[in-house]
């Protein structure tokens, strides 16, 4: 509230000179303080505080009989090494002169750029990405609830193969590294997997034959 006090300006007598009226102004700040507290309370109650985020990493179960070949459908294995080295191969690993007589596995080199790891994951996981995009459109159009969207998205990431219907399995990624790789590169790979909606991935130990192939390739 503002108040203006007007004093007597004189000039009551016949011959008195008229003087300018003097006024004093006093501003009451109480309503402004109340408004500030109301606004502060409003923003505190309506704001969303940042929630702590955790990274989920899947580790394989301990087993006594560890095999060189891990048979999984639609799998890709990334191998990390020194100097930000990143190699990969598709499917199962077959060493030179394997018992099945199949061609030996060849490591392909890539990098952490948008044209390397990111592009590779987008291409390999295209069917899952397209399916999740359709679910996002249904969620946006309010055709499905948020809980339904999350459940269907998780199911799509872990999709099992159905040969009769021509449906491939969801992409599975195995991450391996030698003792020269840095922890940062492993985190970078996991970040890309989450960005590209890869739901099935695990960090596993590298076999000796894989290590020998890596050393021979990365000379």
Q: Does residue 143 sit in the same domain as residue 177? A: no
Q: Does residue 132 sit in the same domain as residue 165? A: yes
Task: Tell me the C-alpha distance between 142 and 135, whole Å.
Answer: 10
Q: Does residue 105 sit in the same domain as residue 198? A: yes
- With respect to residue 47, please indicate whether it lies within any of the assigned structural domains: no
- With respect to residue 210, please indicate whether it lies within any of the assigned structural domains: yes
Nearest alpha carbon to residue 158 among 185, 122, 198, 118:
198
Q: Does the pLDDT of residue 138 top 90, yes or no? A: yes
What's the pLDDT band for 68 if we cut at 50, 70, 90? Answer: very low
Residues spanned by the domain of 155: 126-170
Q: Does residue 89 sit in the same domain as residue 161? A: no
Q: Which tens digit of pLDDT belongs to each residue from 173-186?
A: 999 999 999 999 99
Residue 29 is predicted with a pLDDT of 78
């Amino acid at each position: 509230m503002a108040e203006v006090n007007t004093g007597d300006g004189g000039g009551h007598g016949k011959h008195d000179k008229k003087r300018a009226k003097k006024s004093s102004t006093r501003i009451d700040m109480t309503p402004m303080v109340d408004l500030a507290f109301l606004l502060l309370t409003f923003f505190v109650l309506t704001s969303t505080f940042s929630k702590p985020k955790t990274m989920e990493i899947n580790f394989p179960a301990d087993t006594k009989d560890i095999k060189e070949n891990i048979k999984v459908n639609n799998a890709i294995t990334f191998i990390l090494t020194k100097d930000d080295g990143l190699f990969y191969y598709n499917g199962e690993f077959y060493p030179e002169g394997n018992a099945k007589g199949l061609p030996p596995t060849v490591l392909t080199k890539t990098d952490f750029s948008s044209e390397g790891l990111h592009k590779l994951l987008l291409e390999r996981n295209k069917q899952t990405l397209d399916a999740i995009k359709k679910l996002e459109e249904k969620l946006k159009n309010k055709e499905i609830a948020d809980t339904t969207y999350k459940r269907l998205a998780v199911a799509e990431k872990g999709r099992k193969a159905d040969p009769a219907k021509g449906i491939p399995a969801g992409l599975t990624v195995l991450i391996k590294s030698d003792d020269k790789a840095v922890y940062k590169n492993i985190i970078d790979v996991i970040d890309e997997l989450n960005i590209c909606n890869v739901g099935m991935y695990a960090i596993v130990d590298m076999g000796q034959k894989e290590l020998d192939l890596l050393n021979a390739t990365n000379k």
